[in-house]
Amino acid sequence: MVHILFSRLVVSLLACTFFLTGCGQEPEESPVGATAAPSPSPAPVVTAVPAGPAFLTAAFAEDHQPQEYLEFQEEPTGHEVQIVIATDRQVTDFQFLALTPREEEGDLTWDTEVLYSLDVFSPHTPLLVTTTFAGDLPGRGIAYTDTDGSTRHYTLSLSGKDGSLLLEEFTP
């Protein structure tokens, strides 16, 4: 629970930082004869989760379409969405998972099935996933070995409030 609250705090702080760095600043004067080049705008990050030393993000592909990417497509259902998963640092043993909920001693836990895996997941090549979100409980997730050697697991789901992507840490 503390990790989830910390994750949401980090996301809020990042959003405030992006907002504040782009607002309220006077434009710098250009030298005579110089023309201003348009500044590139960053791709919107839908959800960002601190994960030890690595920082993973998930965004809808329509919001962030990388030029180069790896790709994984599940069987078509007619209700697919495309998401881009990216990392800021190289991680190993990356897995895109199917999740099946189970109740264990009153707690919700997850059985996992590996749908796609990478030995090394690099920040230079994000992963474009075509998948379906069905039901209220998360049905997809990710797992990887972080740069500190620990294995991390996150559910990947849609927010019931605004339809945004959510990454939340879990224990399998």
Give domain status of residue 29, yes or no: no
In this prediction the pTM is 0.67
Q: What is residue 98's three-state secondary structure?
A: strand
Give domain status of residue 16, yes or no: no
Give domain status of residue 18, yes or no: no
pLDDT of residue 14: 37
Give domain status of residue 19, yes or no: no
Q: Phi and psi (nearest 5°) for 146?
A: -75, 170
Nearest-angstrom CA–CA distance, 171 and 152: 8
Give domain status of residue 31, yes or no: no
Q: Based on the structure, what is the number of domains in the chain?
A: 1
Contacts of 170 (CB under 8 A, 6+ apart): 109, 110, 141, 153, 154, 155
Residue 51 reports pLDDT greater than 50: no
User: Any idea what the CATH number is for the domain that residue 56 is in?
Assistant: 2.60.40
pLDDT averaged over every residue in the chain: 75
Look up the domain containing 149 and give its range: 42-169
pLDDT of residue 42: 41
